[in-house]
Amino acid sequence: MNLSEITDGLNDEQSQSVTLGDAQNALILAGAGSGKTRVLTHRIAYLVTQKNTQTDAILAVTFTNKAAKEMRERLEVLLRRPIRSMWVGTFHGLAHRLLRAHPIEANLSAQFQILDQQDQFRIVKRLMKENQVDESKFPVRKIQWFINQQKDEGIRPSDIDAGYNYFVKQSVKVFELYEAHCKANELIDFAELLVRSYELLKNNTELLAHYQNRFEHILVDEFQDTNTIQYKWIKLLSSGKNQIFCVGDDDQSIYGWRGAKIENIQKLESDFHPIQTIRLEQNYRSTGNILGASNALIANNSNRLGKSLWTDAGDGDLIDIYEARTEIDEADYVVSTIQKYIDDGVLPNECAILYRSNAQSRGFEERLIKYNIPYVIYGGLRFFERAEIKDALCYLRLMETSADNVAFERVVNFPTRGIGNATIEKVREFAATNHTTLFQASIEISPSLPTRASNALIGFTQLIEQMQDEAKHLDLSEKVAYLIKTSGLIEHYSNDKTDKAGSKKENLEELIAAAKQYVYDDDSDMNEVTGFISLASLDSSGDTNAPENQNVQLMTIHSAKGLEFPNVFLTGMEEDLFPSRQSKDEPHLLDEERRLCYVGMTRAMKKLSLSFAIKRFLHGQSLYAYPSRFLDEIPSEYINSVKQKFGATIQNYKEEDTFNQDIQPESNGQISVGKTVKHGKFGFGTVLNFEGEGDSARIQIKFKQAGTKWLIASYANLEFV
């Protein structure tokens, strides 16, 4: 392959990034829609074909399994050969590969199992109950979050000084119990994968030197989303002799709430000096007006590394802004507009409705049903997270090793076989006392149990032993098909007459197909079954479901990151909703909300519509709101004000403190609902309601600073703006 094949079709900045010398670290600031995936894949192709770098000397880190798969597929097309020896994957996937390769050095057995979030929750909950930690005072989810937060920072229980904080003291107590339980049962949760692999390298200088020398080039995608332990992991692998090539966009850092540190991308210059920064600013997705508005919005954030997106695709349509009276009106506007698009030949899946909170989806769903427009909520349960799939995989895990206690507990009585909680508790106690597995404990304790419980428990252990024996020589997909039938899962769902039983049967059949399609890596340190189980476990920590064809897409803005749609409706643009109320007093949180808005806007390719409601029923109460400050930050030359169907018009948001002046559904002289008023003490506000007439009238007003108040007209001295 010659150089022109690699650089053909790249713009100047992309080409410069791809062909950088291999002696310098690089930060590629890649704006939304600027072709970063192409730059990454072509960079690797350049290293392999032009610099004679071996594929196993390259480490490529992505943030989702989908991105890893896409990168691998693109590279194999570019290089015209498989690249199995190359380490490509997510942080969690690569950490898992490292631990499988060196379990002894990591103080693990070769049979360690990965815990997903649900399994982790159940274990934490049980440990809290067994150790009298009051769940009403210390919610399980909060304790679970605390544990994972510490691990994301690379912190162990022994590192934490709780001081006089009782919550932290109790959390550390549960953390210690949880770590002891995981150690005793050879369990690794997602956060532990990274911590354990980091400690493995840090504490083994020869092993660290081996991987530092092996990986001549380390490429990291979505660098702005790295957390503390991920950053430390990359920094540890950097020897100063290998090259770090980071691609990211500080303007799209929106995961601070789950541990991502925007300062990581800002620290690169000092920690990996010398480093060359290249900005990819040409956008291949959106029109000029969408980019102009997005640039103006994000310019209000401080401490940016700085870039300005542009396109040569023309200005395109202006951005529509719609002022709705209620969330029902907003949903009507959005869905009726989508119906018009469909009537004009637009496919439903070319339209996306984005919102800040999942709670906003209901109104849109109702209207889509009314209009008979197919839709899907993006971000539902991933395939490997579905209960029936997890049940089947637990049987597969027990077939692989009966020592898997987590799998045992999940399926010992599913499908129901008469093994109650009291029996399982006796098994747990026996296992703990005799330092054995739950499976072995079941065999040994059975003779001492009442006849019914004993027979049920013996029946289960014999079933697993039978499955282990009969499936020994079957290939992976045959094993999956066999266990689905023999375990009783398929019969259970065949006899289930509920609406979802059919889809669950189909999902189990799809698991067989997934096993057939699984490509076993010959270089792997796992056998085929363990590899498949691990893939399923790691997949459940990654991507959400891919959007389905021919359906309008509904999703949160967080879920929309990395996606694009011809027509985007960004809804709920109101103060306290977007930006969220929690962010208003924290500048760094407000900056992240603005970045989130920027991400939402830059999902649009051709048409962007923004909307807000004056009154919204949310979380069980009616709320009156001001338009989001983000609307103020969009210059008027990019805006098209859409008239409401009842005749009111959009206000000029640049005009200080005007709000809904034209809305007059009812009035009493000068007083009207929606009227902007000024009070000598409380400042500007909006009339929400009124009672009575003349000087004795009472007026309810929502003030910008002082909140909502009832005032008597004769004493209020209101100025009607």
- For residues 94 and 229, the answer to whether their CB atoms sit within 8 Å is no
- CA dist 690 and 700 (Å) reads 6
Residues 6+ apart with CB under 8 A from 81: none
Residue 607 — left, alpha, or beta (φ > 0 → left; ψ -120 to 50 → alpha)? beta
CA atoms of 385 and 299, how far apart (whole Å): 40
46, 57 contact by CB (below 8 A): no
Q: Three-state secondary structure along 479-509?
A: HHHHHHHHCCHHHHHHHCCCCCHHHHHHHHH
Within 455-590, strands assigned E span 552-556, 565-570
Cβ atoms within 10 Å of 169's Cβ, excluding its own: 12
β-sheet bridge partners, residue 642? 322
For the record, the structure tokens of 512 come out as 């067989």
Cβ-Cβ contacts under 8 Å for 314 (sequence gap 6 or more): 287, 288
Tokens of 597: 């808005």
Q: State phi, psi for 601 to the nearest 5 degrees.
A: -65, -40
Q: Give dist(CA 73, CA 66) in Å, integer.
A: 11
Residues sharing a CB contact under 8 Å with residue 158, sequence separation 6 or more, in sequence order: none
Q: What are the Cα distances from residue 350, in Å, to 251, 432, 551?
A: 25, 56, 8
Q: How many whole angstroms separate alpha carbon 514 and alpha carbon 533?
A: 11
Q: How does DSSP classify residue 438?
A: H
For residue 448, give the 3-state DSSP assignment. helix
CA atoms within 13 A on the CB side of 399: 27
Contacts of 324 (CB under 8 A, 6+ apart): 330, 333, 611, 612, 613, 614, 644
Sequence letter at residue 701:
I
Cα angle 256-592-654, degrees, rounded to a multiple of 5: 170
Is the bond preceding 547 in cis, omega lying within 30 degrees of 0?
no
- Residue that has been written with the tokens 């490429």 in this structure: 219
Residue 534 — left, alpha, or beta (φ > 0 → left; ψ -120 to 50 → alpha)? Answer: alpha
Q: If DSSP codes are grouped into helix, strand and coil, which group holds residue 249?
A: coil
User: Counting Cβ atoms within 10 Å, is residue 107 exposed (0-12), middle (13-18) or buried (19+)?
Assistant: exposed
**What is the spatial distance between Cα 406 and Cα 428, in angstroms, rounded to a whole number?**
12
Which tokens sit at 520? 């076993």
Q: What is the DSSP letter of 659?
A: -
Q: CB neighbours (10 Å) of residue 250?
A: 21
Judge contact between 99 and 153, C-beta under 8 A.
Answer: no
Tokens of 435: 């330092």
Q: Which residues are catalytic?
A: 36-37, 221-222, 252, 603
Nearest Cα to Cα of residue 281 among 32, 43, 42 = 32
Q: Helix or strand or coil: residue 114?
A: strand
Enter the tokens of residue 642.
């859409």
Distance (Å, rounded) from C-alpha 565 to C-alpha 350? 6
